[in-house]
Chain A
Amino acid sequence: MRAHFVLSEIGVGLRRNVTMTLAVIVSVALSLALFGGSLLARQQVNSMEDYWYDRVEVSIFLCNANDAESGDPACSRGAVTQEQKDEIEAELLEYDIVEEVYHESAEEAYEHYQEQQQESPIAAVVTPDQMQESFRIKLTDPTKYDVISSAFAGRPGVQSVTDQRSLLENLFNLLNGVNYAAVGLMLLMLVVALLLIVNTVRVSAFSRRRETGIMRLVGASSFYIQLPFILEATIAGLLGAVFACFLLVGVKFFAINNFLAEKIPAIEFIGWDHVLSVLPLILVAGALMPALAAFFALFKYLKV
């Protein structure tokens, strides 16, 4: 096997259809970037789920005087009494699944509200007696919300029982939906990339049919005849994969580290270790996928 000969053949082939090669590189780059991106997004969503579900609480909001006056049906029996509060708290502490109960008074709620909504015009007119007292309950298993809800909803003095998890679930469902859409797009791009590779290899083989015809006649092995084409596709694919890697590293560096992480400090974004662990996968896929596609493209075309 003479490396010099194979390499020069590859060079000729790549130069001869530059446009097709570029198309292959771009489509491989995009599909692999999406591939890596969706893998990372999956990890991001998972880590966010772990993080947030660890912190979600079930809140039991209690009726205040305002609720009773404004005719909230749940509070028709008047504002919550101290007795009722004690009863609820005592009962809560009996549950195994309850890890922690925190009582937030109306004043505390007011302070939190003022902190969080400093710039809102509503914050200025809200008074402490409009805020609701509540019990914040942390569960050992956040999915057991129903137990608390069925036990306390509708009880005198309780306005409502809300589960933060259900709010988050909507968000995570949305994120997962976006992720699935990305995977779908990735698959579509992958198909486009593969078709392009098959087509490029065929065109390449056709434009060199003279050479390959002579090679067959003088007894070159089919491996030797196919090798330049397969390597051509592999090189184009690898270039695409390298671009995809740059794209991901760029997104991590510019969009996440320098922008999102600063704007939204509350979210812990995926780290470099995650990004770096995806890159080898992309490179391997970028080299293998086109090689296989080329092999099958030539399978019928360059028979002995």
Chain B
Amino acid sequence: MIRFDNVSKTYPRQNAPALYDVSLEVERGEFVFLVGSSGSGKSTFLRLILREERASTGNVYVLGKDLGRLSNWKVPQVRRQLGCVFQDFRLLPNKTVAENVAFALEVIGKSRGQIRKTVPEVLDLVGLGGKEERMPGELSGGEQQRVAIARAFVNRPMLLIADEPTGNLDPQTSVGIMKLLDRINRTGTTVVMATHDSQIVDQMRKRVIELERGRLVRDQSRGVYGYQH
């Protein structure tokens, strides 16, 4: 699903690499926590998977594709098989919940019939049935994140990337979101989630990958958060 082979990433005009010699593999259907303090390289790690950045050295494989060799115009094809969720939800404030989810399908050219069928389904799945016509501003943070997850999942992606999805939410709401992500994981979707939330990591007991100053320092199945911050 994801393979990093000796991947390093140095941004232009910076001396220290953001990621240094990272090698790892994530199998299909896994649930992986990515932990580490701010600036440890978590975001760079995720950006490399999304092919928002290219590795300086080493190879990144996602869904069997070598992203370093992938030409620009093929990138969208890969991204359609990925879903992503962010700390700040990234919803369109002037569109309703249903329109926000539909947007993801519209811009990749799905037919209207298909959209009408899949949008309510996925909204039901994330527990937002009946709130299709609400605006994002009228929803709680947890509900907004559910919309974002619905949008990420509406294409039934093989891989879901979540960058601190609970970062803006209170602990109780976070648990709800984690249950949802767990459910999505059980449908066969691989989930990679960067987080600072030690409680969640300790509770879930999933594989934990820890980065520190760009280096992979821990890769532990059924791990815990493991460090104080």
* Pair B75/A1 contact, Cβ less than 8 Å: no
Q: Is B84's beta carbon under 8 Å from chain A?
A: yes
Q: How many pairs of residues, A versus B, come closer than 8 Å at their CB atoms? A: 60
Q: How large is the interface on A (under 10, 10 to 19, 20 to 34, 35 or more residues)?
A: 10 to 19
Shortest beta-carbon distance, B187 to chain A, in Å?
19
Residue of A with least CB distance to B75:
A304
Shortest beta-carbon distance, B161 to chain A, in Å?
9
Q: Is B73's beta carbon under 8 Å from chain A?
A: yes
Shortest beta-carbon distance, A74 to chain B, in Å?
81
Q: Give the chain A neighbours of B92 by CB distance below 8 A.
A: 210-211, 214
Q: Give the chain B neighbours of A222 by CB distance below 8 A.
A: 72-73, 76
Shortest beta-carbon distance, A13 to chain B, in Å?
13
Q: Is B180's beta carbon under 8 Å from chain A?
A: no
A302 to B115, CA, bound (A): 26
List A186-216 residues whose CB lies under 8 Å from chain B: 210-211, 213-216
Q: Is B90's beta carbon under 8 Å from chain A?
A: yes
Shortest beta-carbon distance, B99 to chain A, in Å?
11
* Pair B151/A218 contact, Cβ less than 8 Å: yes
A213 to B73, CA, bound (A): 16
Q: Is B106's beta carbon under 8 Å from chain A?
A: yes
List A17-64 residues whose CB lies under 8 Å from chain B: none
Pick from A2, A213, A219: contact of B80, CB under 8 Å: A219
Interface 1/0 per residue, B14-44 and A, CB below 8 Å: 0000000000000000000000000000000
* Pair A213/B108 contact, Cβ less than 8 Å: no
Residue of A with least CB distance to B71:
A304
A216 to B104, CA, bound (A): 10
Q: Give the chain A neighbours of B82 by CB distance below 8 A.
A: 219
Please, could you name 12 A-B residue pairs with CB atoms under 8 Å apart, sorted by A? A1-B109, A2-B109, A2-B112, A5-B106, A214-B90, A216-B79, A218-B151, A219-B79, A219-B81, A219-B108, A224-B108, A304-B73
6 A-B pairs besides A218-B80, A225-B107 with CB distance below 8 A are A210-B90, A213-B90, A214-B107, A216-B79, A219-B79, A304-B51
The 8 closest A-B pairs by CB, nearest first: A219-B80, A219-B79, A220-B107, A218-B104, A219-B76, A215-B107, A221-B76, A5-B106
